[in-house]
Structure 1
Amino acid sequence: MTSTHIDVTAIDLGELGAWMDAEGLPGGEITEVAPVPGGTQNVMVHFERGGRPYILRRPPAHARRKSNEVLRREARLLAALRGTAVPAPRLVAAQTAREPVFYLMEPVAGVNPSTGLPEPHASDPAIRHRMGLEAAAALAELGRVDPEVLPGFGRPEGFLERQVPRWLKELDSYGELDGYPGPDIPGLDATAAWLTRHRPAAFVPGVMHGDYHFANLMFALDGPRVAAIVDWEMCTIGDPLLDLGWLLATWPANNGHVPGLPPERELVAYYAALSERDLSAIDWYAVMACFKLGIVLEGTHARAYAGKAPRDIGDLLHATTLGLFARARDIMDGSLH
């Protein structure tokens, strides 16, 4: 998560203003500079200039190896979504020619349910129920975007075939961390084998968010509508049904602030009514999401053994991984409801 103690003085406001002038944006003094709390490993800063508010997104001062490339991809994707009905932050301008890469977007007027619910959401069960359906509707809208708007973005060929080997290889790589005894994940091999046996034979490529769950959604202040899907760091061209599987895999465990959400099967039915995609193998996508997310979280557990992450966080995420694989077993047994 991005710290709320971002050193905004590290941003050269004079250089930013000159770049904005060259982009033809409103001039004047840059004011109201403040960090945006929450979010991701990247930095977000709010400011105003020429009577207009902006959010600046850029890598942290000590950027990770792929930080700049991730932001290039985000900016390219948000530019492609500007002409669609997908609820996403509106890109204003991007500087991608040199590093650090950064871009400007319009602020989103909305609430993130992971931080609690305002009124009228908090006291209206119909709004909360509808929020779940709107999450499915926004995802269906993303699935309708023609991937040709992003040529060369991702590798859709063989996307499903790569998933199980790709994430087993990731899990094996954790063995390079000192002290990690290896994965103790009941059902790991059985889940991998089930996924291989039941993999859909074909899919229709589309734009994927890559990390689609409630904490990455902003809802309208006055109702259940999704105001914006945020945090596009894992976006690609692949199988959009894996995004739906991801929503199901995390449902409703990370949505504790939103009681009264619809059950999983209602989400699937609502998505199906809005999409031409074949959902006959949706259980496979939910199991695949549990498998992938569980392995990703196990990485922090492994790093904790090596002293590269807090041990209590590593233990907590390992427990989450075990829960995800248990959920995968339930889905494989046909209990997704």
Structure 2
Amino acid sequence: MGDASAPKLVEVLAQHRFDEARLAAYLKAHLAGFDGAATIRQFQGGQSNPTYLIEASGRRFVLRKQPPGALLPSAHQIDREYRIQTALAPTGVPVAAMLHYCDDATIIGTPFYVMAHVEGRVFHDVMMPDVSAADRAAIQRHLIETIATLHLVDVPAVGLEGFGRPDHYVARQIERWTRQYEASKTADFPAMTQLIDWLRAHQPAQDETSIVHGDFRLGNMVIHQTAPRIVAVLDWELATLGHPLADLAYCCMSYHLPPGSGPAMAGYQGVDLASLGLMTEAEALDLYCARTGRDGIKDWRFFMGFSLFRSAAIVEGVFARSRAGNAADERAGRMHDMFITVATTGWDLVRGA
């Protein structure tokens, strides 16, 4: 996928193929305006749930499904993606229109959903090359404003009270991702073990709950084709009710990672941010506080360490799936090096190295 382009499309990968004729017949019966004659290609770049572009009747649709093979517990729950995006449609959070959910695994081998295709640009390099400093500044500002808008959504008002447990999110996430990491790790790595131990011992006393995206970063935003604004937030697989500062820290991880450290996690370390029109981390946090009515942020080192730990666990899981042959991205085999970078960064950060 290019740094500043529409998402790259490829022929459907061998491990993600399904009966396209059966899908077309199903959608013709269940999706208004779908005539059954369809061309299907796969988006390159997704690490988790395979995602496809369907062109039919002069329209474009996007299908997301679970990956094939054995799945880790509580992962790839695409029904939750569909539910939260449906719920957020009337809020100020930009999401694609949800069109149909199918829980019948006999159609294409797993449950799936279909949503409207949103035209736009996707930036996987956080420095957004070939974009003016003014537009870069506007896009980054809208990124922070959008996560603030998400965290301010009235959970009961959009019908998501039962979307997750309303308390102890951080403690549960530490244990969840430790289990996921232990289930998928390819070798012992002391920095990751030490980071987990530190996080368990330093959990903040104050708890908060909002809707959290779980993977809120520039690479999951569709930016308007010409205007510097977000038109859709994608990839809601990890969304739940949780601590908003954990979500915000994940969004700000780039400030702690080196440039070129991975397709999803390239960072700003050593970069002259002002010359690029980008905010410092402190400025980003000030903007978030202004938008959410906070007077400051406590325990930031913890939340950043937590986000780096969680990201490292996810990346190692992608690497493990690539070795098993069912990750959705050809680059997954390079993920172990990224895991080492992210886990080491987290451990160095929390211990003040």
2:138 to 116, 130, 133: 130
The answer to whether the Cα contact below 8 Å between 2:166 and 2:242 also exists between their aligned partners in 1 is yes
Q: What residue in structure 1 maps to residue 307 of structure 2?
A: 289
- Is contact 2:94–2:231 with CA below 8 Å preserved after alignment? yes
Q: Report the more deviating stretch, 315-324 or 237-246.
A: 315-324
1:262, CA displacement in angstroms?
A: 1.3
* Partners of 1:60 and 1:301 in 2: CA distance: 15
Summarize deviations over 1:95-128 as a string: whole Å, max 9, x none: 135552111111122111116999xx72411111
**Alignment size in residue pairs:** 322
Q: Distance in 2 between matches of 1:108 and 1:304?
A: 28
Confirm or deny that 1:320 pairs with 2:326: no
- Structure 1 Cα separation of the partners of residues 184 and 25 of structure 2: 44
Aligned with 1:48: secondary structure? strand
* CA apart distance, 1:191: 7.0
Which amino acid in the other structure matches residue 52 of structure 1? R
SS state at 1:224 partner: coil
* 8 Å Cα contact 2:126-2:266 kept in structure 1: no
Tell me how far apart the structure 1 counterparts of residues 101 and 322 of structure 2 sit (CA, whole Å): 36
Q: How many Å apart are 1:137 and its aligned residue? A: 0.8
Cα displacement string for residues 164-219 of structure 1 (whole angstroms, at most 9, x for unaligned residues): 444445555567x6xx3x22218x5477446633514221x211111122222221
Identify which of 188, 208, 233 aligns with 2:212: 208
Which one of the candidate residues 236, 244, 247 is aligned to 2:248? Answer: 244
Secondary structure, aligned partner of 1:122: coil
Q: Residues of 1 paired with 2:316 and 2:226: CA distance? A: 38
Corresponding position of 2:80 = 73
Distance in 2 (CA, whole Å) between partners of 1:66 and 1:192 is 22
Q: Which has the larger radius of gyration?
A: 1
Distance 1:313 1:158, change over 3 A: closer
- Partner of 1:4 in structure 2? 10
Q: Does 1:39 align with 2:46?
A: yes
Query: Which deviates more, 191-200 or 46-55?
Result: 191-200
For normalisation by structure 2, the TM-score amounts to 0.76
1:220-239 equivalent positions in 2, closer than 5 A: 220-239=224-243
Q: Deviations over 1:130-169 (max 9, x none)?
A: 2221111110111122223223222222223334444445
C-alpha distance in structure 1 between counterparts of 2:84 and 2:175, whole Å: 27
RMSD, matched Cα:
3.8
* TM-score normalised according to structure 1 size: 0.79
1:53 shift after superposition = 1.7
Mapping of residues 55-204 of structure 1, within 5 Å: 55-62=62-69, 64=71, 70-96=77-103, 98=105, 100-114=110-124, 122-148=130-156, 149-173=159-183, 180=187, 182-185=188-191, 189=194, 192-193=197-198, 196-197=201-202, 199-203=204-208
- Residue 185 of structure 1: SS of its match in structure 2? helix
Quote the offset at 1:306 in angstroms.
11
**Cα offsets for 1:65-95 (capped at 9, x unmatched):** 6699611111111111122111122211211
Q: Aligned residue for 2:298? A: 280
8 Å CA contact retained: 1:135, 1:226? yes
